Structure 1
């Protein structure tokens, strides 16, 4: 078993343990009506959502005699194809990162920057979360640790102005990657969401092709509220991918499947711990294998 898969399986242990009480392991035989009812209930409790849970069970029962392995296959078929990141052929790759407060957005940006730096790429980060001085200082620690560069202004500065300056510098100095952080905001706060829309508009004016990707950071433990978050942020910011964090802290790993399926968005990374290596590129087969009880080959 690879160290990557081992960490993922450990990180998802709470979700898997919860599902193990409902999903039988170690059998390839067809399951009974009661067992399928238990499986559907288990998926709902793991935050797959009622509609998706019912759909998964219905499809699995029609495949390969209705075994648990058929459930895994149905999950894999349900996830959208993971297409390559939309990186430009020339000029910097511009990534806008959005999300509500408390999702681990700033830390996640630091980890992503570190990954890019390990690939030998130059990275510039714009600290457009200008409302919380602590957010900028926290980001600065990660920027320094990653060996990246940073654009920052005074507390309370216009976030759109910071984003504009960041893009201009990134293009002028030929950075490989430009990441724009944004203030955490509740999706129901119209003023802050309007401001986020302005940040995106300004980025596009500074660099017409940008942002190439808009990744939303979602706390995996927030349950069904995450659905409302993604719905609103996609509308305002044009979310193109998801990063689901804090999956080690709850038994709600099914939210990854629900969000990806409902919105047709690729999950780019999942977070199962605090360490740098605990932010992992999403692999559908490994994720589902880590989520479900062990099954015989």
Structure 2
């Protein structure tokens, strides 16, 4: 079955060129070393959280199960972009095949959508724990927790299936150069032979829609949490309640802050440069920082990680 269409007079049209971060050869090697270290640290940090939750019986509760799922998601999220980026640093052609480009497009945005749903579920879990503490054990059961995790993955991987199919059926002309380090729908649409403003409008609305809807859900959940915490009579109780939410709020702020900058700010003269920097932050930097944030602000996780590493 033919998935990718090309112009009839473009027999050599075999893929796209990802410009990435143009710089001299020495700079490419330096970036390769830097991002290799970042990638390995990200795998190690998130993998450590998964192992700590798996081996420590005290962490077999919904909050940490959701955290382990989030770390597992982060590993695949960063893997959808960084290995190809590393290969591009050492490549002279920087070519990515049609199938490779659209697979990266699908997995990157599907994993990103799954992350949005997962952050919303984690906020819902904190809402139940703080606002409905007496009913929390009966509501947030192991079965419900598992179902929520499965639904996050199903919804995340369903959202961008149709957009990927639609764009992959279009014909591409021109220099086939993408000024990005990944296959993003915006530069892909600029390479189509026939402009489709309706489709571009649909994608400009469809892509950020789950992000902003789930962001509003998270804001609403934490508004209720804040109201409940402020009614706690003791200062110690308020500090404990805030400490259980602090890590998640920090992660949400980093992720959604960068996404809002991407989709909510007006276009700039250096639009491609801004897109690469912001995308790099929420796709590579935040997966690196998340294990640090959760381990530093959570005493139980810190103890489990120290035990895991024998320190």
Structure with greater Cα Rg: 2
Please give the TM-score of this superposition, normalised by the length of structure 2.
0.23
Larger helix share, 1 or 2: 2
